[in-house]
Amino acid sequence: MNRRIHPETLPAGALLATYDQPGSYVDCLAASLPRTVSLPQLINAFYGSRAFRLERAMIGVALGRKAGDHEVQRLASAKSDQFSAWSVEARTHDQILLCDFRGATRSWLMVEAEGGGTTIRFGSAVVDAAGLGFRLLLGFHRLYARLLLGSALRAIG
């Protein structure tokens, strides 16, 4: 399924576009599915996926900000704007933009219905990407982003 994942420029109206500026890093991965997927379904699949469960567990231990499946469902259904180490910065019917508790990174999901199918997008932003640490971790980040989106696609089915 990962073969369908490809980098893309941010679409017009992307909530993540605010951070696409000099000094920041922004990426966008996309995949098309032959069925309709809603934003709540994508949020549940992404943050409830096997790959993301590990990240949730590590954040829970390291930062004391645990988030289980119930919290994923609350985020997906817009009953909560807090999720583990993130808070909702913006939300529309087809997008969600999350900000980490330090304000350093953003995580973005978008669904776009088209002809009975759906294009799913996942992107992230690092507000200050000038540091050596970020440059050293960029390769890992790109690989991990593909892994996360692939795991969400498998969870959607």
Cα–Cα distance for residue pair 29/9, rounded to 1 Å: 8
Confidence of residue 157 (pLDDT cuts 50, 70, 90): confident
Cα–Cα distance for residue pair 19/125, rounded to 1 Å: 7
Which residue, among 30, 15, 24, 152, has the nearest Cα to 96 in the 3D structure? 15
Cα–Cα distance for residue pair 127/20, rounded to 1 Å: 9
Cα–Cα distance for residue pair 110/47, rounded to 1 Å: 14
pLDDT in the model for residue 52:
82
How would you classify the pairing of strands 6-7 and 95-100?
Answer: unpaired
pLDDT digits (tens, 9 = 90+) for 49-103: 988 877 766 676 556 666 778 888 999 999 999 888 889 999 999 999 999 999 9
**Is domain 2-8+28-156 given the CATH code 1.10.1220 in the classification?**
no
The percentage of residues in the chain with a pLDDT greater than 70, rounded to a whole number, is 90
Per DSSP, which regions of the chain are E strands? 6-7, 25-33, 82-83, 86-91, 95-100, 105-114, 117-126
Which region, left, alpha or beta, applies to residue 146 given φ > 0 means left and ψ of -120 to 50 means alpha? alpha
pTM of model > 0.85: yes
- The full set of domain ranges for the chain reads 2-8+28-156
Contact 48, 150 (CB under 8 A): no
pLDDT in the model for residue 1:
36
Contact 65, 59 (CB under 8 A): yes
- Give yes or no for residue 2 having a pLDDT over 80: no
- Give yes or no for residue 104 having a pLDDT over 50: yes
The percentage of residues in the chain with a pLDDT greater than 90, rounded to a whole number, is 68
CB neighbours of 63 closer than 8 A, spacing ≥ 6?
Answer: 85, 101
Residue type, 138: L
Average pLDDT over all residues of the chain: 89
The pLDDT of 23-44, averaged and rounded, is 96
